[in-house]
Chain A
């Protein structure tokens, strides 16, 4: 399974679309959004976490795009006639998602620290990276659910819509403080808002609120069930 993980991570990192869209874009947007207009030190930290989160969500969803592609070209079917079990394939794919979110998180945090001069304690950097990494799992599952259910093209579009919609609603691009009240209320229920909260809480020097963990856990369960259902449904067609 480690071999499978290695193979799929390698394939993902060789995808120019993934590198540009999943890693390059969030960094570029972070540097643009924080260096154009008024200088606000707090936003440099907040946007860093938001954009690292945005990158992580994009990369996590991309795993589903990979699954849809592999279904279309018959690679998953080919794996079924090797000694690999279906469980190994699914777990390997999920782990691939977990690994491929790391570059986006690390690169955006690095841009924050090295270019934008964000200053945090060592434990804060480490904890933020770790929490963003763990917090991306629900989005990997959402991507897998799409990938096992939809065709390659539809998966791409759906993932894109999920990514942009959740990023904007969850305040990853612009702080929710700018939102009208009703939108801010809605935002509190999105997985992305709660995902970013994991990081902003640590940047503020305290543990994430229970509410954030609770809402994110509910989304984890929802997306997890969605992925399992999609996978089961695809079982006969892979």
Chain B
């Protein structure tokens, strides 16, 4: 699996911790399971994350991402199996200051300034970042004197990020860090996250945004109904699903029979353009060539959306496309 190349970054205080942890993965789940009443939120997860990796935990709402993160942070204990961080139980690793986290649904702490809050959290850790550096990394230097409860949503989120990284932890866990952020705030956030990851820290973030997982993680772990259904790079996930999209101009041609061409799974017509989802783009293109239907021909690999839907499709009978009306499903 791809590992962060910045793992051996010199000059970071995390270096010593990284050396000590070399034999142990940063995160290890062994057949971990957790139920709440009748709901099996995490249903047997095995997962290793090496130090220095940036991993996305991808899944729908309710797939088990947050429970997985609760187990990882020691906020909940698994009913079965085990969770280890750097070879130790989560509580001990948290106590030792190796973990920083940005929890979901946490709101702003009232009546403290940004600097007071970040400095306080940094002070709990054995080898924290200088406060000014934590603020700079999170991009909130100019907010240092402001009250946390008087910031915008995007600013609050970055304060929470600063709180997570203030202790300079080896592992940073971000539970849906960009939920409810606008595009601009989101990009600024990920830029900050990347700088931090490049310093050799292990990063685990959960998201239900496919583009985010693809763009910012070395590795994507897809979770569905409490189980890991795929684990690899964005490229690998797309390849594992295979197939692609073949589009061409109809130029007035009748669409009848197009959905019966080799490999074709579905047909979508938008204006004068036909878009064929296919398991075998080569065979589909050859067949189209035989029909002389290659005007404006375009072949694209499967998108991560396709991969994600294919991986998790067994779980829900939701419509597969927003433009259902013009889609002809084949088989």
| A positions within 8 Å CB-CB of B | 3-4, 7, 10-11, 14-15, 69-70, 72-75, 77-78, 80-85
Contact of A7 among B73, B112, B167 (CB under 8 A): B112
| Contact assessment for A77 and B116 in the assembled complex, using a CB-CB cutoff below 8 Å | no
| Cβ-closest chain A residue relative to B120 | A7
Can you list 25 contacts pairing A with B, beta carbon distance less than 8 Å? A3-B120, A4-B120, A7-B112, A10-B111, A11-B110, A11-B111, A11-B112, A14-B111, A15-B110, A15-B111, A70-B109, A73-B106, A73-B107, A73-B109, A74-B103, A75-B106, A78-B103, A80-B73, A80-B94, A81-B73, A81-B100, A82-B94, A82-B125, A83-B95, A83-B125
What mask results when residues 65 to 105 of chain B are scored 1 for a CB within 8 Å of chain A, else 0?
A: 00000000111000000000000000000111101110101
Instruction: Sort chain B's interface into a size bin.
Output: 20 to 34
Q: Is B121 an interface residue (CB 8 A)?
A: yes
Q: Is B295 an interface residue (CB 8 A)?
A: no
Rounded to whole Å, the gap between the CB of B151 and the closest CB of chain A is: 14
| A28 vs B256: C-alpha distance when bound (angstroms) | 87
Residues of A within 8 A of B94 (CB): 80-83
Q: Is B163 an interface residue (CB 8 A)?
A: yes
| A72 vs B120: C-alpha distance when bound (angstroms) | 20
Q: Is B269 an interface residue (CB 8 A)?
A: no
| A221 vs B42: C-alpha distance when bound (angstroms) | 41
Most interface-central of B96, B100, B108, B124 (chain A CB within 10 A): B124
| A166 vs B74: C-alpha distance when bound (angstroms) | 40
| A4 vs B112: C-alpha distance when bound (angstroms) | 12
| Cβ-closest chain B residue relative to A3 | B123
| Contact assessment for B99 and A81 in the assembled complex, using a CB-CB cutoff below 8 Å | yes
| Contact assessment for B111 and A77 in the assembled complex, using a CB-CB cutoff below 8 Å | no
Q: Is B126 an interface residue (CB 8 A)?
A: yes
| Contact assessment for B112 and A78 in the assembled complex, using a CB-CB cutoff below 8 Å | no
Rounded to whole Å, the gap between the CB of B165 and the closest CB of chain A is: 12
| A32 vs B110: C-alpha distance when bound (angstroms) | 33
| Contact assessment for A83 and B101 in the assembled complex, using a CB-CB cutoff below 8 Å | no
Residues of B within 8 A of A69 (CB): 110
Residues of A within 8 A of B75 (CB): 77, 80-81
Rounded to whole Å, the gap between the CB of A23 and the closest CB of chain B is: 16
Closest 10 CB pairs of A and B: A74-B106, A14-B111, A73-B107, A81-B101, A11-B111, A82-B124, A83-B97, A83-B124, A7-B120, A75-B109
| Cβ-closest chain A residue relative to B125 | A83
Further contacts, 7 of them, CB under 8 A, given A10-B112, A81-B100, A83-B96:
A4-B120, A7-B112, A7-B116, A73-B110, A78-B101, A82-B97, A83-B95
| Contact assessment for A85 and B95 in the assembled complex, using a CB-CB cutoff below 8 Å | yes
Contact of A10 among B73, B103, B116 (CB under 8 A): B116
Most interface-central of B105, B108, B110 (chain A CB within 10 A): B110
| Contact assessment for A82 and B167 in the assembled complex, using a CB-CB cutoff below 8 Å | yes
| Cβ-closest chain A residue relative to B105 | A74
Residues of A within 8 A of B123 (CB): 3
Residues of B within 8 A of A78 (CB): 101, 103, 106, 163
| A11 vs B116: C-alpha distance when bound (angstroms) | 10
Rounded to whole Å, the gap between the CB of A127 and the closest CB of chain B is: 34
Residues of A within 8 A of B74 (CB): 80
Residues of A within 8 A of B120 (CB): 3-4, 7
Rounded to whole Å, the gap between the CB of A147 and the closest CB of chain B is: 15
| A4 vs B119: C-alpha distance when bound (angstroms) | 11
Most interface-central of A15, A69, A73, A85 (chain B CB within 10 A): A73
Rounded to whole Å, the gap between the CB of A12 and the closest CB of chain B is: 8
Residues of A within 8 A of B108 (CB): 73
Rounded to whole Å, the gap between the CB of B85 and the closest CB of chain A is: 11
Rounded to whole Å, the gap between the CB of A14 and the closest CB of chain B is: 4
Given contacts A7-B116, A77-B103, contact A82 B110 (CB under 8 A): no
